[in-house]
Amino acid sequence: MAYTDTCQIFDAKQQDSLRHGGAILRDCLKYVAGLVKPGISTLELDAAAEEFIVSRGGVPAFKGYHGFPGTLCTSVNDQVVHGIPSAGPLLKIGDIISLDGGVIFDNLYTDACVTVGVGEIDPKIRSFLVFVSETLENVIGEVVKAGAKVGDISSFIEKSLQRGGFGVVRTLTGHGLGDTLHQFPDVPNVGKAGTGFTLPVGTMIAIEPIATMGRPDVYTARDNWTVLTKDKSVACHFEHSILITESGPEIVA
Ligand code: MG
């Protein structure tokens, strides 16, 4: 069925498949993050990610998705999301790069992203990455559970990022996933607590705070993929796929 106005619920066997696919994706992002260094191209990182996922029995979920050419979205500095891996320019000291990937395992999708620095980075940018990453961990630990509303998640993320003094990109959202990469419900990074869809046990959502160190306004480049900040401020993106279980949230990727 198409999950357009109701969420997907996973049985025990499907949940195990999600855990398996999620572990491939988690390990892949950890591996590729370890390869990030000055002088490497995003295309090389992408090739490493593809080889890793395939070697573990997964399928790169982004490759070919609406025609996207890469296994990873590699977004550098003022690129916010959907950066296309390329042979150049090469990464240099002080850059930051988000590594956003997806895996299909047993026909089920998981989706995750980390942003890392290239060599030594500006301490202010380092704090920005830590803050946004902690916002994701905190919303999962404090808000995400069966019975929570999507608006509770959105409101927590919005308030946290605003407290940090960062721009909250409104046009990009988290989402349900499973049979497809993006399905009901949308999980925005701005919203009102106590509103929206109520999460049931057995569903999965991707939560993905996306923030800038400047204004939150973004535009899409002429390649029709890369989203950039209008004011050229740097942006970061962290994402987990989270199963809603009886005993609480479970990060699968
Ligand atoms: Mg996502």
Indicate whether 159 pLDDT > 90.
Answer: yes
Indicate whether 1 pLDDT > 90.
Answer: no
Tell me if 125 sits within 8 A of 213, measured CB to CB: yes
For range 9-31, the mean pLDDT: 98
Q: Distance from the CA of 109 to the center of ligand 1, in angstroms? A: 10
For range 103-117, the mean pLDDT: 98
d(CA 18, CA 109): 7
Please report the domains of the chain, with CATH numbers, ordered by start residue. 11-245 (3.90.230.10)
| Cα 234 to Cα 42, 51, 92, distances in angstroms | 17, 29, 15
Q: Distance from the CA of 146 to the center of ligand 1, in angstroms? A: 20
Q: Distance from the CA of 230 to the center of ligand 1, in angstroms? A: 22
- pLDDT score for 98: 98
Mean pLDDT of the chain: 98
Q: Distance from the CA of 114 to the center of ligand 1, in angstroms? A: 11
d(CA 61, CA 217): 28
For range 134-161, the mean pLDDT: 98
Indicate whether 39 pLDDT > 80.
Answer: yes
- pLDDT score for 157: 98
Q: Distance from the CA of 112 to the center of ligand 1, in angstroms? A: 6
d(CA 239, CA 253): 8
For range 76-96, the mean pLDDT: 98
For range 168-185, the mean pLDDT: 97
Indicate whether 249 pLDDT > 80.
Answer: yes
Q: Distance from the CA of 198 to the center of ligand 1, in angstroms? A: 20
Tell me if 39 sits within 8 A of 93, measured CB to CB: no
How far from the centroid of its chain's Cα atoms is residue 218's Cα? 17
| Cα 202 to Cα 108, 137, 243, 253, distances in angstroms | 14, 20, 7, 16
Q: Distance from the CA of 91 to the center of ligand 1, in angstroms? A: 24
